[in-house]
Amino acid sequence: MNVPALLCAFGLPAGFLLIRRVPTCPPARAPYATSLSIVIPARNEEDNLPRLLQSITASAVRTAEILVVDDDSTDNTALIAQSFDSTVITSVPLPAGWTGKAWACHQGAQRAIGDHLLFLDADTFFVDGGLDRLIARWLAERDPGLVLSLLPYHAMSATYEQLSLFFNVLMAAGAGGFGLVSEPQLFGQSLLISKEIYFAVGGHSAVRGFVLENLNLADLVRASGARILCLGGRGSLHMRMFPEGLGQMSDSWTKAFIHGAAGSDGFVIASAVLWISALWSTALLLIVPRDYGRLSLSVVYLLLSLQLVWLARQLGSYRFLTCLLYPLPLAYYCAVFGRSAYRRVLHRKTVWRGRKV
């Protein structure tokens, strides 16, 4: 193997430093009754809520309550939640210094009657038996100090959603502790935590102004001595994030990802830079006029593509062709990441669901 191909091949171990394996919840063997309050912050979620609430009510797990915090919605969010016998909490006006999601979660936690809290984003949903798997995995730990977070499996329908490939992989690498260079943080889409730990660390009030409140909350949870466990949601909790089109997807990743990169561990960032550099270098050296050893580079390109298949299919319904043509989603990732960084440097905000964040 020539020198350029050998250097590009360093991307393979860098990728596995980021993610080695994404563990999931095993099948549940029995129904469970828990003192569990499910809290769902919801702002204009009439399209997503029915699927999530139906998946909860179809579960064998008996929860204490389902709380839907209607965050100043202008659609039928509240009516839909009521039709599923959920308790609807009408949010009071957003105070200064709070993000909308943190304020909604805070209000839900204040009203909850369960001993444990499960926060869920409205665009998630449980597959058959998924909530049972989550509760069974949590109970199997026999650890009252455990805080559990699932990264929902990204269920995609439209072709443009395949462009999220590198965002999903790097989000999992940065927060999941699934590789060899990082410790588990928390995912923003789901959080299972005892009420005692939640209020002891200050809950969402302590992270009120952060766009990615999960990363900052993880620091508080870890400092309290509680243990964090992150798992993949495949077979348990899935999500359909961007049904409204490419614009919605781009705005969402712009809003979130530069904040996530800033809060990532230095080893994770270094591994990600090495991995992405190898991915780009391999692709570019294959198309430049000068022959840098196309046969060897082609082998490295194929190996990197297969590595992506292995990583991506643990996280979402990504196609083999998406991974084989990885320069396309990688270019999209770099463009959106650059847009996010540009906006942050200029202190510009992104409008998300009618609010600037």
Q: What is the pLDDT along the chain (357 residues), one digit of tens a residue?
A: 577 777 778 889 999 999 989 999 998 776 666 789 999 999 999 999 999 999 999 988 888 999 999 998 999 999 999 999 899 999 999 999 999 999 999 999 999 999 999 999 999 999 999 999 999 999 888 888 999 999 999 999 899 999 999 999 998 998 888 988 778 999 999 999 999 999 999 999 999 988 888 889 999 999 999 999 999 999 999 998 788 889 888 888 887 665 655 556 778 888 999 999 999 999 999 988 788 788 899 999 999 999 999 999 999 999 999 999 999 999 999 999 888 777 777 666 555 555 555
Question: d(Cα 301, Cα 89) in Å, to the nearest integer?
Answer: 52
Assigned CATH for 36-244: 3.90.550.10
Of 253, 271, 275, the residue nearest 339 (C-alpha): 253
Q: How far lies 34's CA from each of 64, 108, 186, 233, 339, in Å?
A: 7, 18, 22, 20, 44
pLDDT value at position 205? 95
pTM confidence score: 0.90
Contacts of 121 (CB under 8 A, 6+ apart): 40, 41, 152, 188, 189, 190, 239
pLDDT value at position 349? 59
List for the chain the helix, strand, coil content (%; round to 5).
50, 15, 35
Q: How far lies 37's CA from each of 166, 234, 270, in Å?
A: 33, 23, 39
Extents of the domains making up the chain: 3-19+260-343, 36-244
Backbone angles phi, psi at 289, to 5 degrees: -60, -35
Contacts of 205 (CB under 8 A, 6+ apart): 102, 106
pLDDT value at position 212? 82
pLDDT value at position 354? 56
Which residue(s) pair with 87 in the sheet?
67
